[in-house]
């Protein structure tokens, strides 16, 4: 089955690559003078970058689509040929295709492969389908800006995205999911539900949490802290800046500088705002001599870090410049490593399941070409990670050579309700920092030994995880997470007094409740509550006052009828307690 899936993926990649060439063919026929950049297949589709002075319009995409259909119908074969490097440079140079010329100049190969269909010729390694007629079910999706080779100092290009599948059914399913994703976009819902905002005046990639968003964040943080204490962790806090010397010792200045902000001068000393929490935790470790009896030491922190990300890759809550990491570092003896990893994996799965995620993609990444530590240590660490995954019966794939330079790792991607995978959880074994900072413990024989350090994040960054939660639930959070769990709605002014009593009783029981006693029609009040995705609406009219009940409606429009207030409090409290 694995081989069959791999073949399907390769065939789909060739189909999408071919469709990108057909799109470029159509663009060059419709818009003479447009320069071609690159057009690769990508996950779920393809794109092509064009150098065109005027922006592409929605009407242009319609024209391109029709022209593509014409090209497909003519059933042109995709013909592969080779040119010498010099011939290719002259060929594309004579056509004024400067981007192709630059690509060829960067190639070491003496031979260059060319693909042609119906007179359209492109620099390409392939593969492609046999002919244009094989591309039947496609859709052009959007236009976006792009920089040549991702460099914001280079030429500004226009990128047309599209997708194609083997069947109309597959295409329709994908387009449906795409529309659902638009409805669930956390940037859109963040505004509609008043959860967070971003402000260019303050700077890109920085998140401002509004009261409702902060309320959800506090619920997450309280749960996170309580569960860490139950699982044998201690909580620590470190400053947001440190002298540059610390980051030189850790290796961040050498290996991570492109993501770090420039040093600031404080009384003649250079300080850097922290991109990571680990060096700070190590400093705490080094404050006294540690015994083998002290290990394992598990320290956790919701630590805010700051990393430079190019403006072109920033994306709402998913890619930011300042974020809070649900970070922890475990210092353990080598013989404790496997058990600690098992404990972390179980902890990860418990946390993710509690938030409603039960489907994962898991990868074990092994030793890369450039690494620190001994081969023996790497072998032991990789074996410990592998055994831990097998002990908890978690299916995984191996990514050979994809570990970080300081150690192997496990990455867990969660699948949301639309089947999309998001990288959140990671477990990394580190041989580098214990060596660089010379941290030790005294073993049973009185000798100094080097501990192994485990870096782990269960949720990843709170910002990113919150964005995933918003899209997973479409903003309709489960009751225990909802910023407002119930709202009291009166039909007329005559019910205000009773409505206030109901509101107060819920408030006393720590239920997050709002009230709407405004002089408005009840249908409007209910509609507004539904738009805010409040789980429960407690409607109060004359009958409810007389019977001392509330008419309970759920946000999914299900009417639960009249319920005694105490019974409702008991029911919703049970949901909150069980995190439903």
Alpha carbons 247 and 239: distance in angstroms, whole number: 14
Separation between Cα atoms, residue 488 and residue 529, nearest integer Å: 10
Q: In sequence order, which residues have a C-beta less than 8 Å from that of residue 38 and are 6 or more positions away?
A: 48, 49, 99, 103
Q: In the annotation, is 158 catalytic?
A: no
d(CA 180, CA 187): 14
Is residue 530 annotated as a catalytic residue, yes or no? no
Q: How far apart are CA 471 and CA 316, in angstroms?
A: 12
Q: Half-sphere exposure (CA, 13 Å, Cβ side) for 189?
A: 25
| Three-state secondary-structure class, residue 328 | strand
Alpha carbon distance 100, 113 (integer Å)? 12
Is 263 in contact with 363 (CB distance < 8 Å)? no
Residue given tokens 């500088």 in the structure block: 257
User: Residue 208 corresponds to which tokens in the numbers above?
Assistant: 């401002």
Residue of 279, 298, 282, 394 lying closest to 348 (CA atoms):
394
Q: Is 45 left (phi over 0), alpha (psi -120 to 50) or beta?
A: left
Residues 6+ apart with CB under 8 A from 396: 362, 363, 364, 389, 410
Q: Is residue 329 among the annotated active site residues?
A: yes
Residue 55 is given by DSSP the state P
d(CA 104, CA 86) in angstroms, rounded, equals 9
* Catalytic pick among 455, 456, 472, 512: 455
| Residue 133 in tokens | 């007629």
Q: Is 409 one of the catalytic residues?
A: yes
Q: Which candidate in 60, 67, 158, 325 is catalytic?
A: 325
Q: Which of 278, 411, 424, 495 is catalytic?
A: 278
212 classed as catalytic: no
- Residue among 60, 122, 327, 416 flagged as catalytic: 327
HEC states along 340-379? HHHHHHHHHHHHHHHCCCCCEEEEEECCCCCCCCCHHHHH
> Dihedral sign, CA of 544, 545, 546, 549?
positive
DSSP letters of 211-265?
A: HHHHHHHHHHHHHHHHHHHHTT-EE----SEEEHHHHHHHTHHHHSGGGSPPPEE
Residue 480 vs residues 179, 180, 259, 486: alpha-carbon distances, Å: 28, 24, 36, 11
Given 409, 464, 472, 555, which residue is catalytic?
409
Q: Which has the closest alpha carbon to 468: 535, 425, 422, 426?
A: 422
Select which of 212, 329, 472, 533 is catalytic. 329
Q: Are 541 and 502 in contact (CB under 8 A)?
A: no
**Chain mean position to CA 302:** 18
DSSP string, 393-444: T---EEETT-SBTTB-EEEEEEE-TTS-EEEEEEEEEESHHHHHTT--EE-T
Catalytic residue numbers read 278, 307, 325, 327, 329, 409, 455
């Amino acid at each position: 089955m694995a081989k069959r899936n791999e073949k399907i993926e390769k065939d789909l990649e060739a189909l999408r690559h071919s469709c990108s060439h057909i799109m470029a063919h159509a663009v060059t026929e419709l818009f003479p003078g447009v320069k071609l950049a690159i057009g690769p297949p990508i996950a779920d589709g393809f794109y092509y970058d064009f150098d065109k002075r005027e922006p592409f319009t929605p009407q242009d995409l319609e024209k391109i689509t029709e022209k593509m259909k014409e090209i497909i119908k003519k059933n042109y074969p995709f013909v592969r040929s080779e040119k010498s490097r010099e011939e290719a440079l002259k060929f594309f140079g004579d056509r004024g295709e400067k981007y192709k010329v630059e690509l060829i100049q960067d190639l070491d190969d003496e031979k260059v492969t060319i693909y042609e269909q119906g007179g359209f010729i492109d620099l390409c390694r392939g593969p492609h389908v046999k002919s244009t007629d094989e591309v039947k079910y496609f859709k052009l999706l959007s236009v976006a800006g792009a920089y040549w080779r991702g460099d914001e100092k280079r030429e500004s290009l226009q990128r047309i995205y599209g997708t194609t599948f083997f069947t109309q059914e597959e295409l329709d399913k994908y387009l449906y999911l795409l529309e659902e994703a638009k409805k669930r976009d956390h940037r859109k819902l963040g505004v509609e539900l008043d959860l967070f905002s971003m402000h260019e005046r303050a700077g890109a990639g920085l998140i401002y949490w509004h009261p409702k968003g902060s309320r959800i964040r506090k619920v997450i943080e309280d749960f996170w802290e309580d569960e860490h204490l139950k699982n044998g962790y201690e909580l620590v806090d470190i400053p947001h800046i440190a002298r540059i010397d610390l980051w030189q010792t850790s290796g961040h200045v050498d290996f991570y500088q492109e993501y770090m902000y420039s040093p600031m001068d404080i009384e003649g000393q250079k300080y850097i705002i922290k991109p990571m929490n680990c060096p700070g935790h190590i400093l705490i470790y080094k404050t006294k001599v540690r015994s083998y009896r002290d290990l394992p030491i598990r320290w956790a922190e919701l630590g805010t870090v700051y990393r430079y990300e190019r403006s072109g890759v920033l994306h709402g809550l998913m890619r930011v410049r300042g974020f809070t990491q649900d970070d922890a570092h475990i210092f353990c003896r080598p013989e404790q490593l496997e058990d600690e990893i098992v404990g972390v994996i179980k902890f990860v799965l418990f946390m993710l399941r509690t938030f409603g995620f039960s489907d994962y993609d898991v990868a074990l990444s092994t030793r890369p070409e450039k690494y620190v530590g001994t081969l023996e240590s790497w072998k032991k660490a990789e074996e410990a990670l592998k055994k831990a995954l097998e002990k908890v019966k978690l299916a995984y794939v191996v990514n050979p050579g994809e570990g970080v330079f300081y150690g192997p790792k496990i990455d867990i991607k969660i699948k949301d309700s639309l089947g999309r995978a998001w990288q959140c959880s990671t477990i990394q074994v580190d041989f580098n920092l214990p060596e660089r900072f010379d941290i030790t413990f005294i073993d049973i024989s009185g000798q100094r030994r080097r501990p192994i350090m485990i870096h782990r994040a269960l949720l990843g960054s709170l910002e990113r995880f919150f964005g995933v939660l918003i899209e997973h639930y479409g903003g309709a959070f489960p009751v225990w997470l909802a910023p407002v769990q119930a709202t009291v709605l009166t039909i007329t002014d005559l019910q205000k007094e009773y409505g206030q009593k109901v509101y107060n009783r819920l408030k006393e029981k720590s239920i997050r409740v709002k009230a709407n006693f405004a002089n408005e029609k009840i249908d409007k009040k209910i509609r507004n509550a539904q738009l805010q995705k409040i789980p429960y609406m407690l409607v109060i009219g004359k009958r409810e006052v007389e019977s001392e009940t509330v008419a309970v409606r759920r946000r999914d429009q299900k009417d639960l009828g009249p319920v005694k207030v105490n019974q409702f409090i008991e029911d919703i409290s049970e949901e909150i307690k069980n995190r439903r």
